[in-house]
């Protein structure tokens, strides 16, 4: 095996593929990247049973072949290589990397022990890469971090004719985003897939400038796969078992008071007053019909307060309190200058919408928060 490749292209391919590698594994070969050189291209693959990432790059291949190299060590080498052309070769059991007089020798891993890679799921449609990356980021903030509850660490994708719904929840919040997509053919019913939020977010960011992303689906619950292909990167994610609870009844806010406020100003005020709050202490928001909202945080002598303009309808006043980190996650996930809050009161649900230029609530992105019972 021998090939030459541009240093930037090599580093980018290795950097993308290494994201699929596990942080720790009892199986040494899963820490390796599979390099395959053939017919003018180099393919770099990372795999850990839960995800497979394959990245292709142009290369001048002198001798085709395959090799398994420690992935993170190869990435470290790529980061310090000088700019220009890089020459790589397999010499017995050593993989060499040379550029502008600098030469590295890396040990290799046994190819025979490397597990078989999953086949790419069959294509089912396409979605705009940039819009998809934005949508995933907006809902992933609501996904849980507790790995003992894997169901709540996922983002659920629901595909119907022309509409994709992304949703995530950690029991205290629930984010939903609607997005257009283009099915390759008429679907026989809706497609649902629950995918690991952290991996999906990283994947969506890496594909953000790829134009259209080709989606692929292989059913099978926790044994199924969902595929994404954009540019020269192909990724398959293993589906999580289960599905998130329905949100329709949760988003029914009949009888709620409605407040409207500048989104960026409210987020900045939350950051400011939360400085004096103890860990896990809430920030209180007192909305009133006089056209303002008063934010307060802290106890005793360590307190902070700020008043902002706000429009309230449906009540004379509504006091609510939120976990400041959760409220900030929700506010910063919106792109609109103003946000509308539907409020049922302390200890109850609050639903946030974007507000469009005509002053109407935009339903494509909604974020539900549970307010805190104990007010500041």
User: Alpha-carbon torsion 67, 73, 76, 82, what sign?
Assistant: negative
**DSSP character string of 267-320:** HHHHHHHGGGPPTT--EEEEEETTTEEEEEEEETTEEEEEEEE-EEESSSEEEE
Q: What confidence category does residue 356 fall into, taking pLDDT thresholds of 50, 70 and 90?
A: confident
CATH class of 2-113: alpha beta
Structural contact between residues 232 and 17, judged by C-beta atoms closer than 8 angstroms? no
Q: What is the pLDDT of residue 44?
A: 98
pLDDT at 375: 67
Three-state SS for 222? helix
Map residue 35 onto helix, strand or coil. strand
Does residue 317 carry a pLDDT above 90? yes
Out of 72-76, 206-210, 221-225, the most confident range is 72-76
Domain 123-238 has CATH 3.10.150.10: yes
Common-topology check for domains 2-113 and 257-370: yes
Q: Where are the domains positioned within the chain?
A: 2-113, 123-238, 257-370
Q: How many CB atoms lie within 10 A of CB 125?
A: 21
DSSP label at 161?
Answer: T
Compute the distance between CA of residue 267 and CA of residue 330 in angstroms, rounded to an integer.
9
State the pLDDT at residue 223.
65
For CA atoms 257, 263, 269, 275, the dihedral sign is positive
CATH number of 257-370: 3.10.150.10
- Using pLDDT thresholds of 50, 70 and 90, give the confidence band for residue 45: very high
- C-alpha span between 285 and 269 (Å, rounded): 11
Q: Distance between CA 176 and CA 339 in Å, rounded? A: 15
pLDDT digits (tens, 9 = 90+) for 134-155: 999 999 999 999 988 999 999 9
225-252 in b/e burial notation, b at 16+ Cβ within 10 A? bbbbbbbbbbbbbbbbeeebeebeeeee
Q: Is the pLDDT of residue 355 over 80?
A: yes
pLDDT at residue 300 is higher than 60: yes
- Mean pLDDT, range 150-164, rounded to an integer: 94
């Amino acid at each position: 095996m021998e090939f030459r490749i541009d240093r930037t292209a090599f580093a980018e391919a290795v950097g993308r593929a290494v994201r699929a590698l596990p942080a720790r594994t009892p199986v040494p070969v899963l820490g390796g990247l599979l390099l395959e050189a053939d017919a003018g291209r180099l393919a770099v693959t990372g795999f850990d049973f839960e995800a497979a990432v394959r990245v292709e790059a142009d290369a001048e291949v002198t001798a085709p072949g395959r090799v398994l190299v420690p992935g993170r060590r190869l990435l470290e080498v790529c980061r310090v290589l000088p700019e220009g052309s890089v020459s790589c070769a397999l010499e017995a059991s050593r993989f060499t990397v040379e550029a502008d007089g600098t030469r590295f020798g890396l040990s290799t891993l046994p190819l025979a022990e490397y597990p078989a890679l999953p086949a790419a799921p069959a294509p089912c449609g396409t979605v705009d890469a940039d819009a998809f990356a934005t949508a995933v980021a907006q809902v992933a903030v609501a996904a849980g971090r507790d790995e003992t509850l894997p169901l709540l660490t996922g983002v659920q994708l629901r595909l119907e004719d022309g509409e994709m719904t992304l949703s995530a929840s950690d029991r205290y919040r629930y984010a939903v985003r609607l997005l257009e997509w283009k099915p390759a053919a008429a679907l026989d019913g809706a497609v649902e897939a629950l995918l690991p939020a952290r991996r999906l977010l990283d994947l969506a960011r890496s594909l953000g400038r790829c134009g259209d992303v080709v989606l692929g689906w292989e059913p099978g619950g926790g044994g199924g796969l969902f595929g994404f292909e954009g540019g020269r990167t192909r990724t398959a994610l293993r589906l999580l078992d289960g599905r998130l609870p329905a949100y329709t009844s949760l988003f029914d806010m009949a009888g709620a008071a409605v407040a409207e406020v500048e989104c960026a100003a409210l987020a900045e005020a939350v950051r400011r007053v939360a400085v004096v709050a103890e860990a896990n202490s809430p920030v209180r928001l007192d909305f009133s019909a006089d056209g303002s909202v008063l934010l307060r945080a802290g106890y005793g002598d360590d307190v902070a307060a700020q008043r902002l303009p706000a429009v309230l309808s449906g009540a004379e006043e509504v006091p609510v309190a939120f976990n400041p980190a959760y409220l900030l996650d929700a506010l910063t996930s919106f792109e609109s200058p103003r946000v509308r809050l539907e409020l049922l009161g302390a200890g109850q649900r609050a639903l946030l919408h974007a507000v469009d230029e005509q002053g109407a609530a935009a339903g494509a992105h909604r974020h539900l928060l549970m307010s805190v019972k104990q007010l500041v």
